[in-house]
Amino acid sequence: MTSIIGSRRGAVPGKKSPLVWVAGVDGCRGGWFVILAAVSASSAQPLRIVARRCTSFRDVLALPERPVALAVDMPIGLLDRPRPGGRACDREARKLLGRARASSVFTPPTRPGLSALAYADVHRVNGTGMSKESFNILPKIREVDEVIGARDQERVFEAHPELAFARLSGAPLRHNKKTAAGRRDRVRLLWRIFASAFQDPVRLRLEHGAAYVAPDDVVDAYVLANIADRIRRGSGARLPASDPPLDTRGLRMEIWY
């Protein structure tokens, strides 16, 4: 698939390829956990990893490394009215993941539903019910929606970790990411991608505060960084595959993997 990033630095003939940064961003208890990967413009091999915890999504957008692509596991682009199963990209994602992992794709709130402050208010403002999982991340969805605009989608992309891991392994993973077996499966796949640049997720979690960052936040941010790099290189996959619909704010409703 052709990259849709507006600009990227290329290699200069006869000179060493310059480094650019890509980022994987996952919401965590303490804000947003970010894996930044330094990559060569002419290579798919990550060369360096930097981890950061940002307290706000506005801080993510202002990261000093200025990543050329950021993949975030959070809905971007919302319906104004509820539809069964949510957006088209949500429904397609569940089909790809099958019964084992389909439940990892939550139906996002409608934009009016962002104003729900109590679960008892959900049906009235959202136009339909909402899962507890979606309600629990409502503040994060609201935070992203408040700061992102259509132009930001030149480098900020909604993505889904389980779709990415399914692509890396050739099939949806059997074990839930919150189990020990699930973490082992995912870390094994990440080692293949990041090789010598890979840093131990347990150590990164402790460095940035175990009270603020869960083990799966680190693992998901890693694979999201890989999605961002795929997008940079023009090999990212998207649901829907072409012409994603726009919401009333002009934001694309899509999921990358």
Which DSSP symbol is given to 222?
A: H
pLDDT digits (tens, 9 = 90+) for 211-229: 999 999 999 999 999 999 9
Query: Are 247 and 253 contacting, i.e. CB atoms less than 8 angstroms apart?
Result: yes
Q: Count up the domains in the chain and report the number.
A: 1
For residues 230 and 39, what is the distance between their CA atoms, to the nearest angstrom?
Answer: 11
Q: Which residues contact 67 (CB under 8 A, 6 or more apart)?
A: 20, 21, 22, 23, 36, 155, 228
- Nearest 10 degrees: Cα torsion 126, 132, 138, 139: 140
Query: At 44, is the pLDDT very low, low, confident or very high (cuts 50, 70, 90)?
Result: confident
* Whole-number pLDDT of residue 163: 98
User: Is the residue at 9 inside a domain?
Assistant: no
Q: What is the pLDDT of residues 154-201, one digit of tens each?
A: 999 999 999 999 999 999 999 999 999 999 999 999 999 999 999 999
The residue range of the domain holding 59 is 19-256
pLDDT of residue 87: 98
Distance CA 222, CA 49 (A): 9
Q: What is the pLDDT of residue 137?
A: 96
Q: Output the six-digit token pair for 123.
A: 């049906």
Q: Is residue 192 part of a domain?
A: yes
Q: With respect to residue 8, please indicate whether it lies within any of the assigned structural domains.
A: no
Q: Is residue 27 part of a domain?
A: yes
Is 3 part of a structural domain of the chain? no
Q: For residue 4, is pLDDT > 50?
A: no
| Residue 4 in domain | no
For residue 16, the model assigns a pLDDT of: 62
Statement: residue 11 has pLDDT above 50: no
In a domain, 143, yes or no: yes
What per-residue confidence (pLDDT) applies to 243?
92
Helix H segments across the chain?
57-61, 88-101, 122-126, 132-136, 138-147, 161-169, 180-194, 201-208, 215-233
Confidence category of residue 28, pLDDT binned at 50, 70, 90: very high
The answer to whether the beta carbons of residues 157 and 72 sit under 8 Å apart is yes
190 and 222 Cβ atoms separated by less than 8 Å:
yes
Whether residue 247 contacts residue 77, with contact meaning beta carbons closer than 8 Å, is answered with: yes
Provide the pLDDT for residue 10: 36
The answer to whether position 10 is within a domain reads no
